[in-house]
Amino acid sequence: MKYPGFIIVLLMLTNCLNKPDCIITATNLVKIGFVNASNQPRSTQVDSIRVSGKEVLYYKGASVSTVNLPISPEVAEALFVFYYEQQQDTVRLQYKVEPQIISPDCGAYTIYKNLSVSETSFEFYQVVTSQLSTNATVNLQLRIE
């Protein structure tokens, strides 16, 4: 080995760069984007959205191209019913809920990952990001013709 000292210093520096921070981006909000046939954001007149496990209706009378809908940490499945533009469509999602520990000072938090669509009446959909995060642009795209 020609440069053992250099390699060790490099590994030490790599180690220093791996310190945890307390920036928690995990969320239980699924970011859903409506797109048109060209995959461009589509403003949609939503009458309301029903979320499984919740009594309240979301986005009543709103004109939106993205919505943030909550999912429960107690179950691994969620059903969303969309009432919009005289239509009704559903999306059933599956996901995994698990804890992640950062450090004693930052604590533990819950992550929601492996998001997938198990059932839907939308003709086209795409899971863009399968882990829920406040940084995610969108988790799921639903195409509305």
Partner 1 sequence: MRQSIFSYVLSSFLIAIVVTGKAQNNPPDSTRGIHLPTGIRLGTDLILIGTSAFSESFSGWEINGDVDFGRYYLAADFGNWEREQSLVNGLYKNDGRYYRVGIDVNFLLKDPDRNMLFFGFRYGHANYSEQVTYSFSAVDFGDYLADESNSNARANWGELVTGLRVKVWKEFWMGYTARMKLLARTKNNDFETYEIPGYGLTFKNVYWGFNYQVFWRIPFKKVD
Burial category of 29 from C-beta neighbours within 10 Å (exposed 0-12, middle 13-18, buried 19 and up): middle
**66 counts as binding partner 1 under rule CB under 8 A:** no
In the complex, the smallest distance separating the C-beta of residue 78 from partner 1, rounded to whole angstroms, is: 11
Nearer to partner 1, 100 or 121 (CB): 100
Among 73, 119, 124, 137, the residue binding partner 1 under the rule CB under 8 A is 73
CA-closest candidate to residue 59, choices 69, 51, 49, 45: 49
Q: Are strands 140-143 and 29-35 parallel, antiparallel or unpaired?
A: parallel
**28 counts as binding partner 1 under rule CB under 8 A:** yes
**29 counts as binding partner 1 under rule CB under 8 A:** yes
The C-alpha atoms of residue 127 and residue 123 are separated, in whole angstroms, by 14
Stretch that binds partner 1, among 39-47, 87-95, 104-112, 123-131 (CB under 8 A): 104-112
The C-alpha atoms of residue 104 and residue 101 are separated, in whole angstroms, by 8
CA-closest candidate to residue 143, choices 31, 28, 44, 29: 44
Burial category of 125 from C-beta neighbours within 10 Å (exposed 0-12, middle 13-18, buried 19 and up): middle
In the complex, the smallest distance separating the C-beta of residue 36 from partner 1, rounded to whole angstroms, is: 29
Binding mask 105-124 for partner 1 (x = CB under 8 A): xxxxxx--------------
Q: Which residues bind partner 1 (CB under 8 A)?
A: 4-5, 8, 11-12, 14-15, 18, 20, 27-29, 51, 53-54, 56, 70, 72-74, 98-101, 104-110
